[in-house]
Amino acid sequence: MEIVVTEFLPRIVSPKAPPLKSQGIKTKLVPFIAGSIAWQGMGRWVEPFVGSGAVVLNIAPKHALLADSNEHIIRLYKGIQSGEISAARVKEHLTIEGEKLSKEGEDHYYSVRTRFNAASDPLDLIFLNRSCFNGVMRFNKKGQFNVPFCRKPNRFRQALISKITNQVSWAARVMAGKDWRFECQPWKTTLAAVNPEDFVYLDPPYIGRHTDYCNQWSDIEADNLASAVKSLTCGFAYSMWKANKYRENSHLTEHFEGYPLETYSHFYHVGPSEDLRNEMEEALVLKHGHSQFGPSCLPTRVLPASRISI
């Protein structure tokens, strides 16, 4: 009897943007990621650093464990998943707050920021995320959003509000009927829960680039994560910067020498400072997922480096 092997990945994906923006967002890298990973999709798609949610929303697995140490992001996506945060509510909120921003300028932005830091309303997070400086997602040690105003009081024109509400509607449709669990927890807790059939996608703060948005990410933490990733019994894909015009990232050669590595050259437009908004060679360290014949039957794909713009 002939046995047919079906795979969930690799495949071609036409990416869409999620409701949240963040530095290092992976929306336009999704085709590269989805085309580089080999996984049958029998277990769960696991993300210890779900961030904006760009990768999981575009890949859309049936089962997923999605975690982050940022409680505000998890609260937002749980709300969209449950229907508590709908496109209609987002549209109403942004229309009202956008009108106030247009009249009162930065005073209103900072009043909403103060209100969010006291009450953690996910609708306020969306407002702040789209009216803060350069789309940066950043919180201080107390968990408070601390990005300054973008100085564009007329930010929320109808076109932008429609764009955001459409993104919320799309995210809700993608999640509908799927077994996705969102958890606010440390990466160690997430990795401890994985099974051999799962696949782990990791997009941690990029070491040496100071782009973390929540808590502090140290060299020691990055080293501990790399060691834990190599001990996983399932397949994984680990995103990290490889090089820019200034230097190479020694973290990759130190921890992942000998692992399959795919690269993609692109440009960052989102970041807190100009030196972080430049061309970057992105790396994806791979250990392919299990097939019914074992992981060795899933060969490494070599993709040509390309240039895209984010």
Q: What is the pLDDT of residues 174-206, one digit of tens each?
A: 999 999 999 999 999 999 999 999 999 999 998
User: Mean pLDDT: which of 93-107, 130-144, 237-251, 287-301 is highest?
Assistant: 93-107
Half-sphere exposure of 158 (CA within 13 A, CB side): 0
Confidence check: pLDDT of 272 > 70: no
Q: Which residues of 55-69 are buried (b: 16+ CB within 10 A; e: fewer)?
A: bbbbbebebbbbbbb
Is the pLDDT at 278 greater than 60, yes or no?
yes
Find the mean pLDDT for residues 4-25: 88
pLDDT digits (tens, 9 = 90+) for 31-60: 999 999 999 999 999 999 999 999 999 999
The whole-angstrom separation of Cα 208 and Cα 206 is 6
pLDDT above 90 (res 246): no
pTM of the complete model: 0.88
Q: 3-state class of 36 per DSSP?
A: helix
Domains of the chain and CATH, by start: 27-69+185-309 (3.40.50.150), 86-171 (1.10.1020.10)
Cα 137 to Cα 48, 120, 296: the distances in Å are 17, 14, 39
Q: Give residue 279's pLDDT band: very low, low, confident or very high (50, 70, 90).
A: confident
| H/E segment holding residue 108 | helix 106-119
* DSSP run (H or E) holding 79: helix 71-82
Six token digits for residue 116: 């969010």
- 291 Cβ contact list (under 8 Å, min separation 6): 5, 7, 38, 40, 297, 298
Contacts of residue 176, Cβ cutoff 8 Å, sequence gap at least 6: none
pLDDT over 70 at 269, yes or no: no
